[in-house]
Amino acid sequence: MVEKRDMFPHDESLERLPAADLEKRLSQKLRQLIQYAYLNAPGFKARLDAAGLKPTDIKGPADLPRIPVLRKDGLMRLQKERPPFGGYLAVALNQVGHVYQSPGPIYDPQRRERNTFGSPGIGVGLLAINAWAYQITPAGMIMDAVLKNMGFTVFPAGPGNTDLQMQVMRDLQAACFAGSPSFLASIIKRAEEQGYDFKKDFNLKYALAFGEMGGDQLRRTFSEKYGIRCIGGDAYVTADTGIIAVSCDENAGMHVSTDMIAEIADPATGQVLPPGEVGEVVITPFDEIYPLIRFGTGDLSMLITEKCACGRTTARLPKIMGRSGDAVRVRAMFVHPRQTDEVMLRYPQIAAYQLTVTRQDNRDEMLLQMELGSEPAELEQWIEALRKDFQETCRVRFDRVEYLPAGAISQGAKKIVDKRVY
């Protein structure tokens, strides 16, 4: 392993290069990454060897499909076989600032993040509320760095507690909010329920509100009704690969970062699909700390390769269109059946269960349906304990509980059903 250094510095000029020149530069960075990862990440070396490949076989993005896709299930298996990081940590642990967890569980050493949001200096002298979680997942820390780079002073609020967030926002005259669109909508709704004129009585001017499917409508409402400027529009960020894509002012899709290569692949075969076809987003980040080459996110989208009206030539993802795997994103957090099974197994009274996700009033709602083999003695206390356990493990709460007769949930039924329509 080598000393941690920025081997792949961010270069904004790449975003506007002609397509052929951009391809050439990305190919150079990819060859360097493959050689580096082969020498420093034993897990990747084993993967390349198993595929019968040498580092020199990968000359550019067109050669990447020769490497099998690494998905969450495979990474989780590798981390169990070769703890703690499956052989993909390419530096010494004492050179890593933080370690996070994503659903599975999967443990992610902190990668090098490049700021791709907003304009430096826009927040000087202003306060921002950061409502992303600062623990377990990297979202809070990533956004903290983004906000500070823009000049904001940050109040590290974390998620939840709508009343407290509203009070802090008003007391401190916060000018910026960072969090999910639905959570900002909840804060505004609570303020209006308490008789405030949000636009007049609060000082919110900016929002970095993303992370949810269907967020466009809420961002339009923030802008048109409350005069809040939504910086960067939408963004696509995962715990495993960091900031993948951010939309521009043209709002014509999310531009893929030049700090990585994004492919759209057939979920069954891993082979690359042409622009305009929907498939799994597969990411190869240029990262010397944790080189997850050809990592399958499980998210579905497609690539737009035409030059954007903003002048950037980078490929764009129009939006995230769903999931190819079993995990479902709820209120900007992934919920995986392995996590829900883990919780339910602690409660032997539950004979079968199913979670259904819908969307009401621009908010994700989760219904827990259960068949009980036996009824708990103190049902209300039992449900509250289950609710608390579920939130601590899955990092979101279910909204309602419904009890079903025996046999209502068919054997082999999906544990999480997504019925949202956007």
- The reply to whether 266 and 317 lie within a common domain is yes
The pLDDT mean for the chain works out to 90
Specify the number of domains making up the chain: 3
Q: Examine the fold and report which residue of 323, 355, 378 is the final residue of a domain before the chain moves on.
A: 323
What is the reported pLDDT for 201?
96
Q: What is the pLDDT of residue 114?
A: 66
Q: Which of 323, 352, 376 is the last residue of a domain?
A: 323
Q: CA-to-CA distance for 279 and 366, rounded, in angstroms? A: 26
Average pLDDT on 403-420 reads: 89
With 90 as the cut, is the pLDDT of residue 104 above it?
A: no
Kindly state whether residues 181 and 221 are assigned to the same domain.
yes
Distance (Å, whole) CA 175 – CA 204: 4
pTM comes to 0.79
In CATH, what number is assigned to the domain containing residue 53? 3.40.50.12780
195 with 164, same domain: the answer is yes
Task: Look at residue 148 and tell me whether its pLDDT is greater than 50.
Answer: yes
Q: What is the pLDDT of residues 115-141, one digit of tens each?
A: 667 778 899 999 999 999 998 888 899
**Do 224 and 133 belong to one domain?**
yes
Domain coverage including residue 364: 328-418
Does 338 map to a domain? yes
| Within-domain flag for 5 | no
pLDDT in tens, 13-56: 899 999 899 999 999 999 999 999 999 999 999 999 999 999 99
Q: Are residues 156 and 206 in the same domain?
A: yes
Same domain, 414 and 281: no
Assign residue 383 the CATH number of its domain. 3.30.300.30
